[in-house]
Amino acid sequence: MTMKMISLLCGVLLTIGHGEIVTLAHPGEASDLTKTVVWSPLFQAAWDQFNVKAGGPPVRVEPPNRLMEKLDEFRWDAATVMPEGSWKAWCGPASADFLKQVNQEAAAITKEAEGPFQLQQESPQSLAFFGILAHEVEYQRAFFRSKNLALKFRSSHGEEPVQFFGVRSGLTGEYGPNVRVLAWRPVDHSHAIQIRCKQAGDTVILYLPPKDQDFDTACRWLRTWRAQATREVDRPGAWDDSAVHDGDEIQIPYISLQSKADFTSLLGGTRYQGPNATPFNITRAEQVTRFDLHEKGARVRVEVIGAAAGAAPDLPLTIPRCFRYDRPFFVFLWREQAEWPYFGAWIGDASALNMFR
């Protein structure tokens, strides 16, 4: 049975207690690591499209916003990172015609009858950005479901028995061609494995760090180990064998999560973009994430939608004034476009004024 890695649509950060999910817009963002946290670069892909359509990165942001700064500075090769033919990001006018185009192209990727996106409000003067990823992965060799034993999962919330899949003892060696050991570090009780999938270039990586880490740090370690693994010579059966071998054991919990994130409040500040420094305010930035992992593969669906409205131009400094006619003054009746008034009076004293009783 093929597992579907279904849709990613990009958007920003959700915070939720035990059992709730934190969604990150950027891998370097700090988060509550006592909770489950998710991140996908699809939001970044949609954000990049917004920057292109808006005329380039902002000249300035007022007031400064650190998250927007990180998103604007992020450098990556989306064509290399994202699976070819299975994703797309858009940005264009917040109009019905553009939405129809996006939904048609998104539905072609997700293989659904219609696309998932809706506009809160049509405004051709505003921009809307979207992103979607729909992809399937299946392990080259399926693992075994544990039917009689639970995995005791320990966290800051205590110890909980969970379902798991994997392989052990004399069968593990058969997975040698399909499971690469990226790191085995008994000194700090950390390790990482990479599971090859049937789809060309696709892998699933599992990394147990020595202590809590953010996404940025974890990705940096994994980049290092993956580069080293391509140069290492296999040492069959040794502690630093780069392939799993008989006697090894793999235990992986089943994962099933759903979350909805709203990043709008995190992206405050007026962005002055492009050669003419056009002002924009982010008025919508949302992401929905669903993810499942089991013995045959994985399934992910992430939806992101955002909008940016043209901001009002800066007004000159306002100086308060008081128009008090408390000494002699003129009063005229004057028609529009006329050269002279048709009545005028100079109020030189109070004789024409009503007295206060």
Which token pair is 324?
């008090």
CA distances to 48, 95, 137, 202, 257 from 295, rounded to whole Å, are: 35, 43, 12, 16, 16
In angstroms, how far apart are the furthest CA atoms of the chain? 114
- How far apart are the C-alpha atoms of 17 and 34, rounded to whole Å? 9
Dihedral pair phi/psi, residue 180, rounded to 5°? -100, 135
Q: Which residues have CB under 8 Å from 19's CB, separation 6+? A: none
Mean pLDDT in the chain? 81
Is the pLDDT reported for residue 53 higher than 50?
Answer: yes
The number of beta carbons lying within 10 Å of the beta carbon of residue 157 is: 12
Write down the pLDDT at residue 84: 83
- Band (pLDDT 50/70/90 cuts) for residue 317 is low
Write down the pLDDT at residue 5: 32
- How far apart are the C-alpha atoms of 294 and 253, rounded to whole Å? 8
Domain boundaries, the chain: 4-138+257-310, 164-253
pLDDT tens-digit series, residues 238-272: 888 888 888 888 988 988 888 899 999 999 999 99
- How far apart are the C-alpha atoms of 6 and 136, rounded to whole Å? 7
For residue 5, which of 40, 44, 30 has the smallest C-alpha distance? 40
CA distances to 122, 139, 238, 337 from 247, rounded to whole Å, are: 61, 21, 11, 98
Is the pLDDT reported for residue 357 higher than 90?
Answer: no
pLDDT tens-digit series, residues 156-178: 888 888 989 899 888 988 998 99
Encoded amino acid at 112, one letter: E
Q: Are 119 and 165 in contact (CB under 8 A)?
A: no
Is the pLDDT reported for residue 301 higher than 90?
Answer: no
For residue 55, which of 332, 312, 259, 278 has the smallest C-alpha distance? 278
Q: Are 263 and 12 in contact (CB under 8 A)?
A: yes
Write down the pLDDT at residue 290: 78
- The domain 4-138+257-310: what is its CATH number? 3.30.497
